[in-house]
Amino acid sequence: MKNFLSVGDITDLDELVSSALSYKKSPLRDQHLGKNKTMGMLFLNPSMRTRLSTQLAARNLGMEAIVFNVGQDGWTLEFEDEAIMSGSTVEHVKDAAPILGSYFDILGIRTFPSLKNKEEDYSELYIKQFIRYSGIPVVSLESATLHPLQSLTDLITIRETLKEIKRPKIVLTWAPHVKALPQCVANSFAQWVTYWGETDFVITHPEDYDLSKQFTQGATIIHNQEEALRNADIVYVKNWSTFNDYGRIYTNDPGWMLTNRKLSLTNNAKVMHCLPVRRNVELSDEVLDGPNSVVTQQASNRVWAAQAVLSEILKHQAAR
């Protein structure tokens, strides 16, 4: 593995999930892999889980991880080629990224979309410019449209949770939220689940909340949430803003929040959410605090997903 931006960068999903689960059993077995290596982690946006779990994963592999909160502490970066930088941006990625490439062996980048310009967000300009100019492997710590470390974690958690079920029914359900949120987690979850292929995958959302078709081929879309939830083995809850009329909130209907009554329609489904979650807006206390919630297990698996990915990149570097 050279870079890690999407499911397209992996060669064998089963192997990657197994690798993550084996690191969960034996976290320090590959401490030699990252010896004398350093990972730079750049955050243009806030994070708790991604930041800490990736730092822990790097440490488990014997690698140092240095975090730089660019959005808070760094110069405002320009990403457009040939930009005339007479506005608010201070440093071009073309100048900054090669320096980072000389400091570090691997670069992790966390960016969010603007939710204003769909074409620009979906071109993944920011992360692609870091790949182009840094000259070292780049790991997405969430990009404008995808969150691959989260999605790998999600599949690890599903595999752990549903050992006995051959072809599980997985439902991704939209939930209300007070802010316009990116489509990244939903896009990425859909991309990874459809790539996996061994599930009945249903996406349920209000009319006009369709995700980009590039990520949902192979999923069944149902606008009636209760119908979608019937016999589900996993319910993945997530809000996203509109894709077609980009970045808007069309509804905040609390009727879309998952409750125990709705959960009773499922096959005693486990409930997932990437966190952070707005309690009693996106997900009810009764579900989050109930026996079906696996959100803490899911978040703790972030370490093993990151460790499996970083180890693949370190092995690729060692083989060159």
Applying CB under 6 A, the residues found at the interface with ligand CP are: 47-50, 142, 150, 274-275
List b or e across 188-210, with b for residues whose CB sees 16 or more CB atoms inside 10 angstroms: bbbbbbbebeebebbbbbbeebb
- Radius of gyration, alpha carbons of the chain: 20
Nearer to ligand CP, 33 or 186 (CB): 186
Min. distance of Cβ 258 from ligand CP in angstroms? 18
Nearer to ligand CP, 235 or 305 (CB): 305
Residues contacting 100, CB < 8 A, separation 6+: 40, 42, 107, 130, 134, 136
Query: Cα 287 from chain centroid?
Result: 22
Min. distance of Cβ 108 from ligand CP in angstroms? 11
CA distances from 156 to 63, 67, 172, 179 (A): 23, 26, 16, 29
Surface-to-core class of residue 120, CB atoms within 10 Å of its CB (0-12 exposed, 13-18 middle, 19+ buried): middle
Surface-to-core class of residue 32, CB atoms within 10 Å of its CB (0-12 exposed, 13-18 middle, 19+ buried): exposed
- Number of helices (H), then strands (E), belonging to the chain: the values are 14, 11
Nearer to ligand CP, 168 or 182 (CB): 182
Min. distance of Cβ 255 from ligand CP in angstroms? 25
Min. distance of Cβ 306 from ligand CP in angstroms? 11
Min. distance of Cβ 48 from ligand CP in angstroms? 4
Nearer to ligand CP, 169 or 177 (CB): 177
Nearer to ligand CP, 284 or 298 (CB): 298
Min. distance of Cβ 174 from ligand CP in angstroms? 17
Nearer to ligand CP, 30 or 215 (CB): 215
